[in-house]
Amino acid sequence: MEIKYFVLIIQRFNKLPVRYRLKWSLLPASALRHMRGVRLLAGICLMAFLSWGVSSCGDTSREVAAGEQPPGRPPNIVIVFTDDQGYADVGVYGAGDIPTPNLDGLAAEGLLLSNFYAAQPVCSASRAGLLTGCYPNRIGIHNALMPDSPIGLNPEEETLAELLKQQGYRTGIFGKWHLGDQPEFLPTQHGFDEFFGIPYSNDMWPLHPQQGPVFDFGPLPLYEQERVIDTLEDQTLLTRRITERSVSFIERNKDQPFFLYVPHPQPHVPLFVSEAFRGKSGRGLYGDVIMEIDWSVGEILEALDANGLTDNTWVIFTSDNGPWLAYGNHAGSADPLREGKGTNWEGGVREPCIMRFPGRLPAGQVVEAPLMAIDLLPTILSVTGGPEPELPIDGRNAWELLTGQTDQSPQDAYFFYYRVNELQAVRDGDWKLVLPHNYRTMEGQEPGADGLPGSYRYVDVETPELYNLRDDPSETRDLAAQHPEVVAALEVKADSIRNRLGDSLTGAEGSGNRPPGRIPSEDAPD
């Protein structure tokens, strides 16, 4: 597997202190634009070789600081969660035209998950799954919540932040929330001590390309805690400001366990990047944005190093869903996976995911078994010793998989919902059953460009389709006719989740669904 070669080759490169690694992220685009396959690998090898002498005489503060953690202190948790980033938009996942040395280095020091899934292929639902350990439809969060929506995450649901606070963790979110913008639903009401960022997607503002004919968005607010401190007319420095707040949070809380959640608004359109990274990648503005996010990860890692926190911090990097393909050159790539955001084909839900936890998780390994964002909450709590949520959740503890004690997924199967409670697919091991539903595609359509979207066409899956994802990750060969027994077995599993969570496509009503938070109609905004 090509991914494994990337991880092995960059292991030496990553021994450099972060500040030396960051220099490679600022290479001119011309130096990497044509590096593909073997040439890219050779380039990484050359950088590692040239850096050998630097690392041998470099700063040793990391080794000294790593031993300064008080014994018995619960580990810090850092989750970096990007927006609309494609599976192939990180170097170790095949992005030969976007230098991502910090993420590549993180993979060399930890785990690369090759079959990691978002909870759903859309903003709000995906975030709900990550933070609660539930399938989003269980808790009534569907699609992407609009500004001034009367709906948000129910206060009865316990987020990872709330559960960690019960253990004495300091909790902070810096970036995009998107689980309700009414005062009752803001992050500070769901376990976060600190919030700096935006309440919903960065395109929900008056400069949206479809403002007027389709949307009527007001100004995009920037929040500090529960107060609007600015309205954004230019997002050029937002990634940098989020990074600065994240680093400050680490420095201010180095003497106590903390949960740092960094849900970057980028690379969701509209794309913005600071001047330091403009024109630096081989993939235009989109690649420049990814480079700045990689820089941001490097700043966070360096802050952990500088404060002696590296060895007691579990760092997780992933994305909320796949690339928004309608935006053409302003969208990412899920290559070789099929489709993107807004679909339950692999390109919409399979995401890059990298984890590092020195001494606890193996280094330079690839985890191939399926895992989903809903599994992170129970897995993290198993490590911190935190309390279990009072209400039922869907995630399962994956620690044995991550530590190499097993090669099996913690779940019997994964279920892929979208829209309002539509069960669209089931995955069990290597097999994926795609159920009848309607989906959108840009295949055969004129792509968007430079911030303007193209138009999707809509296609019906009329009968169940079966794919072997190990042999056919691009979902091109329907094997339903050759393996009717597999189809039948997965249909049984689909019925089991329908009984619990329902399925609007078949009219099934679930017994385990819970309502979202909802403000009374008389209190709803006009």
d(C-alpha 459, C-alpha 473), whole Å? 20
- Provide the token pair at 489: 């077995």
The DSSP secondary structure of 359-400, one letter per residue, reads: TTS-SSEEE-S-EEGGGHHHHHHHHHTPPPPSS-------HH
Q: Nearest CA to 349 among 318, 319, 316, 322?
A: 322
**Secondary structure (H, E, C), 2-27:** HHHHHHHHHHHHCCCCHHHHHHHHCC
H or E element that contains 70: none
pLDDT for residue 72: 80
d(C-alpha 409, C-alpha 386), whole Å? 22
**CA–CA distance from 187 to each of 30, 65, 137, 197, 445 (Å)?**
42, 32, 20, 10, 39
129-146 as b/e, with b when 16 or more CB fall inside 10 Å? bbbbbbbbbbbbbbebbe
pLDDT for residue 53: 35
pLDDT for residue 33: 33
d(C-alpha 371, C-alpha 406), whole Å? 13
Question: Residue 323: how many CA atoms within 13 Å on its side-chain side?
Answer: 29
Q: Nearest CA to 289 among 267, 269, 305?
A: 267
- Catalytic center residues: 123, 178
- Provide the token pair at 486: 């597999």
Q: Name residues whose C-beta falls within 8 Å of residue 271's C-beta, 6 or more positions apart in sequence.
A: 285, 286, 289, 330, 451
Q: How many CB atoms lie within 10 A of CB 485?
A: 7
pLDDT for residue 523: 63
Q: pTM for the whole thing? A: 0.89
d(C-alpha 256, C-alpha 265), whole Å? 28
Q: Which residues of the chain have pLDDT under 50?
A: 1, 4-70, 526
- Provide the token pair at 191: 């376990």
Task: Tell me the residue length of the chain.
Answer: 526
pLDDT for residue 475: 98
Q: Name residues whose C-beta falls within 8 Å of residue 327's C-beta, 6 or more positions apart in sequence.
A: 269, 447, 448, 451, 452, 453, 454
**CA–CA distance from 206 to each of 178, 324, 331 (Å)?**
18, 20, 21
d(C-alpha 464, C-alpha 139), whole Å? 27
- Provide the token pair at 314: 């579990």
Question: Residue 10: how many CA atoms within 13 Å on its side-chain side?
Answer: 32
pLDDT for residue 454: 97
d(C-alpha 77, C-alpha 315), whole Å? 6
Residue 184 has phi, psi (to 5 degrees) of -70, -15
pLDDT for residue 29: 35
d(C-alpha 370, C-alpha 377), whole Å? 16
Do β-strands 151-152 and 111-117 pair in parallel, antiparallel, or remain unpaired? unpaired
d(C-alpha 337, C-alpha 368), whole Å? 15
DSSP state for residue 449 in the 8-state scheme:
B
